[in-house]
Amino acid sequence: MADARTRNRYFDDLASTPDLAWMGQNTNHVPAHPAVTEAMIRSIEAGEFNAYAPPMGFEALRSAIVDDLGTPGAEALVTEGGVNALAMICKARARPGTTLVTTDPTWKWPCMFAEQAGAEVIQIPIYDPATAYKLTPEALKSAVDERCAIIYIVDPNNPLGIRYERREIEAFAEIARSVGALLIHDCTYRDFADGHTPVLQVAPEGTVVSLSFSKWLGLAGLRIGGLVAEPKLIDEFSAASTSVLGASVIAQRAAMAGLAVKPEWMTQVRKIDRVNKDMIVKAAEAAGMPVPVNPSHGNFLIIETASTGVAPEAIVEAARREGVMIRQGRYHTARFGDRFIKVSTSVPTEWAERFCEGLPRYVETARGLNDVPALF
Ligand SMILES: Cc1ncc(COP(=O)(O)O)c(C=O)c1O
């Protein structure tokens, strides 16, 4: 497909740009903890990659994930990235005649998986200061009925950076239960949040948490994540798995090493992330561009572009020409995508400084760009 090739070349060009500041995909570019690097090197030197991993993940990693989430009684399934946990769940539950209900903005790929399986996707708009950019239980209640197979909540929300309170999660779980829907709580960014309640802690049945090692631990290119749920659901979802030969052995060793040093590592990462956020908020505001969700509970910020009079895509392209990757709002949402750009903050401080110094110039360059190539 031509589109798939164009998309591939777009990312290939980025990957081969020297000194690119990756600030568009919420990845983590803080230099790895030595224990994580060492675990990978040990695994490579031992030739562990010659064999397949256990199909559900190393048992030690499965239990470390459950311990870390604080959900005794639940079980973890290791997947090739959080995205494949979500694909597996959609494959198991979405079918013609059902709905997947989520927010707008949301993370778009599970919507695609549900549609591929024949389900209808219903998105509830939340880009609204009146509700503090959050889904309300009332709005969720009026969007679900007995057709609803899946409620998909991204918390902290990517791209907005809001996070839900325990009572809100309880209310969402109760609504899911009332219509017999599965609640997926996508907790990819939970380690960047101040206070977070995984749904399994308040409603351990009929709910599932999806997780990633890409963001907090910085393993995006290694493709490792997982899901956590009651054993009955783990049985159901693993029956729908296409990753029957397991996830990367090296990635799993890195994940285990990361969990073992998590408090120390995240203290350092969050400190860097906070400094970058403060700097970027100041630069955006100085350029007359508001940051509507501050503090953000994710490792990213959205910056509104309306005051500039130029399209987010043009600003993204102008930044790309200077070796800085940021994201256009339309990646996340057709309805609100013309309002903002998104910038990742778990990066070396020099990258954040580069972005801040460049921002007014990107806007100026953007004014002169008539032909913005396709962005993804
Ligand atoms: C909300 C959300 N869920 C899941 C993922 C998937 O992460 P990965 O497949 O890298 O673990 C991402 C990645 O950007 C995300 O933003």
pLDDT per residue over 173-217, tens digit each? 999 999 999 999 999 999 999 999 999 999 999 999 999 999 999
Ligand 1 atom index nearest CA of 154: 1
In ligand 1, which atom is closest to the CA atom of 224? 11
Does 298 contact ligand 1 (Cβ within 6 A)?
no
Residue 174: enclosing H or E segment and its boundaries?
helix 166-179
Of the chain, the percentage scoring pLDDT greater than 90 comes to 97
DSSP state of 230: -
The backbone region for 118, taken as left when phi is positive above 0, alpha when psi lies in -120 to 50, beta otherwise, is left
Q: What is the mean pLDDT of residues 348-353?
A: 98
Instruction: Determine the pLDDT at residue 60.
Output: 98
Q: What is the pTM of this model?
A: 0.97
Tens-digit pLDDT profile for residues 221-245:
999 999 999 999 999 999 999 999 9
- The CA 21 to ligand 1 mean position distance, Å, reads 19
Q: Is the CB of 214 under 6 A from ligand 1?
A: yes
**Is 154 touching ligand 1 by the criterion CB < 6 Å?**
yes
pLDDT given for residue 111 in this prediction: 98
In the DSSP assignment, the letter for residue 333 is: -
Q: Are 239 and 92 in contact (CB under 8 A)?
A: yes
- pLDDT, one tens digit per residue, over 247-288 is 999 999 999 999 999 999 999 999 999 999 999 999 999 999
Q: Is any ligand 1 atom within 6 A of the Cβ of residue 296? A: no
Q: CB of 188 closer than 6 A to ligand 1?
A: yes
Q: Which tokens belong to 255?
A: 């994940």
**The two structure tokens encoding residue 329:** 């709002």
What does the H/E/C string look like for 14-71? HHCCCCCEECCCCCCCCCCCHHHHHHHHHHHHCCHHHCCCCCCCCHHHHHHHHHHHCC
Q: Is the model's pLDDT at 2 over the cut of 70? A: no
Cα 82 to middle of ligand 1, angstroms: 5
CB 253 within 8 A of CB 43: yes
Across residues 215-220, what is the average pLDDT?
98
Give 22-31 pLDDT, tens digit per residue: 999 999 999 9
Tell me what pLDDT residue 371 has. Answer: 84
pLDDT number for residue 370: 82
How many angstroms separate the alpha carbon of residue 340 from the centre of ligand 1?
A: 20
Digit-coded pLDDT (tens) for 123-170: 999 999 999 999 999 999 999 999 999 999 999 999 999 999 999 999
Averaged pLDDT for residues 367-372: 90
Cα of 174 to ligand 1 centre, how many Å?
25
Is it the case that residue 1 has pLDDT exceeding 80?
A: no
Other CB atoms within 10 Å distance of the CB of residue 262: 17
User: Quick check: CB of 83 below 6 Å from ligand 1?
Assistant: yes
Task: Please tell me if the CB atom of residue 103 comes closer than 6 angstroms to any atom of ligand 1.
Answer: no
